Structure 1
Amino acid sequence: MSRFDRPARLAAELLARRGFEVRRHPAARRQNLFARHGVDLVLDVGAANGGYGRQLREFGYTGRIESFEPLRTAYLDLVAGTDAGWRAHHHALGAEAGEAEINVASNSNSSSLLPMLDAHREAAPEVDYVGTETITVKRLDDLDVLGTARAPFLKIDTQGFEKAVIEGGPAVIEKCVGIQLEISFVPLYEGGMLADEAIAWGYANGFRIAVIEQGYAAPTGEVLQMDAVFFRA
């Protein structure tokens, strides 16, 4: 045992007694999977202020990123953090092209094109819709974003609107080596796709779950959402 092992083990035990667990960062595991599958383009749908893209860069991903964010304020923050290989698009993705009213939440990340349900409000009473914003919606299959990418990866985090994004992009998804979906175990947004439907869709389309990352939990400790990372079987 090296002289570093014992202090690290003691620190981990102390944290465990206080209810915390030391584990590998999910982004590090994801980056290893990206490298293994040769991911050279990430389609970041529901980019918010760019946190997902920045995390990709911090953990070593150097390929192209195409981010999609419909809310004006979040889009401006997103653009401010992009680099030469990272492009931001100011619109949502869905099943049909056009305009729509998005519900703007007090914490921005909970904003959705779908109505928020009571289960969400009970789990996070400090969060609710505070207004609406008119946005542009486009279909993924109508966009020229793949370019010369050989191994695209699609991440969708759209607060219950994932199914509509999928319905607007079957041709692009067919070319993807992997996909990341926010999966819900209880209905949080009206009409949102639940975990069983999302997982069944993934396996029916040639993907299998490689990683499950913990997402949103209620104050009671009940896990309401997880992020599922799929790759081609």
Structure 2
Amino acid sequence: MAFRHKVRQWVQRFGVDVVRYPLHDPMARTVRLLNHYDIDHVLDVGANDGGFGSSIRQLGYIGRITSFEPLPQPFEALHRKAAEGHGWNAYQIAIGDAKQNVDINVSGNSGLSSSVLPMLDSHTEVAPNSRYVDTYTVAQDRLDSLLFELGVPVGDRAFLKIDVQGYEGAVLEGASGLFERGAISGLQLELSLTQLYAGGMTYREGLDRAEALGFTLMGLDPVFSDPKSGRLLQADAVFFKA
């Protein structure tokens, strides 16, 4: 025990950590939950370059993945990853609460912090490289109607992962038909513990909306922290219908 503690202290000097795998690995826990609840379709909204899809595949999820990413540069990487995998489709479109064109603010950190919403100083002060550097107009659609138009079968064991930087409320509104049908059995939301985007959904609103939809919180993992103070700013919350 003492030896492991010393090893962990030594590697932490380089900005990394050593923890017991897999239960201390957030993605591994999520995949375990996907398998436990017999999820057969992951709807990946705000997929960026396909990192989420690749990770759950590597950790043993074998079901269908449908990913959505509106920005062209990350979509290219996403499309390549999806093409290499079985049962993984990717579409270049934004997901929201209405069928219309929207302007996406493109962030300087490889698009990871891009959002339809204006970014607040509370975000840029702790992550200057996330500042917006461009604006891109894209097509947007509701998830419930888009899946029908694309002929994508959903069934009743789907998991909806949403990573849209404050725009989660609009995505949930646009998926209301899926929730009403009982098609969504699991949900992942990126919750902001402080306001980072103007008009963005707060963590309390996210928790309340998930509970109102009949979901129980089953995982909470840090995503984004203030490097100076250590204050947690965003966390991924995973919910399932128990």
Give the TM-score of the pair, scaled to structure 2: 0.89
Secondary structure (helix, strand or coil) at the match of 2:153 reads coil
Name the structure 2 match of 1:206.
214
Please tell me whether the aligned partners of residues 146 and 152 of structure 1 are also in contact (alpha carbons under 8 angstroms). Answer: no
Distance 1:129 1:18, change over 3 A: closer
Render the CA deviation track for 1:48-96: whole Å, top value 9, x for unaligned: 0000000011100111000000001111110011123100010010011
Is 1:133–2:136 an aligned residue pair?
yes
Is 1:232–2:241 an aligned residue pair?
yes
Name the structure 1 match of 2:103.
101
Is 1:191–2:199 an aligned residue pair?
yes
Please tell me whether the aligned partners of residues 155 and 183 of structure 2 are also in contact (alpha carbons under 8 angstroms). Answer: no
Name the structure 2 match of 1:66.
66
Render the CA deviation track for 1:112-167: whole Å, top value 9, x for unaligned: 00000010011112221111111010101102265163310000000111000001
5+ long unaligned stretches in structure 1: none
Alpha-carbon separation, structure 2, partners of 1:36 and 1:156? 20
5+ long unaligned stretches in structure 2: none
Distance 1:93 1:14, change over 3 A: same
How far does residue 32 in structure 1 lie from its aligned partner after superposition? Answer: 1.1
Secondary structure (helix, strand or coil) at the match of 1:38 reads coil
Alpha-carbon separation, structure 2, partners of 1:91 and 1:10? 48
TM alignment of 1:158-169, pairs within 5 A: 158-169=164-175
Aligned length: 229
Distance 1:178 1:14, change over 3 A: same
Is 1:119–2:99 an aligned residue pair?
no
* Residue identity opposite 2:19 in structure 1: V
Superposition misfits of 4+ residues, deviation over 3 angstroms:
5-10, 12-21
How far does residue 171 in structure 1 lie from its aligned partner after superposition? Answer: 1.7
Q: CA RMSD in A?
A: 1.9
